[in-house]
Amino acid sequence: MITIKTKYGYSVDCYGTIGPTAAVDFCCDDEWADGVSESSFESWDDAVAELSEWANAMGTELVQLVSDEWETDQ
């Protein structure tokens, strides 16, 4: 797990291995906003930046990201 701070001042926990083929599930403070990203990301920083922008526009905060890809030591 890594934790990344957003430009909005809160932190997001990120689990798994990120890459262009990974599907990323996201959880927000408001459950109605939870889902799976349709974007692909090269890094957790990119994922947090894009998805926290979306969450802010929706009036909620991003809490956690989980990739469907894992390294064997995780």
DSSP 41: -
pTM above 0.75, yes or no: yes
Question: What integer pLDDT is reported at residue 74 of this predicted model?
Answer: 45
Count of C-beta atoms within a 10 Å radius of residue 2: 12
The residue among 3, 71, 49 whose CA lies nearest residue 37 is: 49
Each residue of 6-26: pLDDT tens digit? 999 999 999 999 988 899 999
Q: Strand 24-28 relative to strand 62-67: parallel, antiparallel, unpaired?
A: antiparallel
The mean pLDDT of the chain is 92
Tokens 């890594």 found at: 2
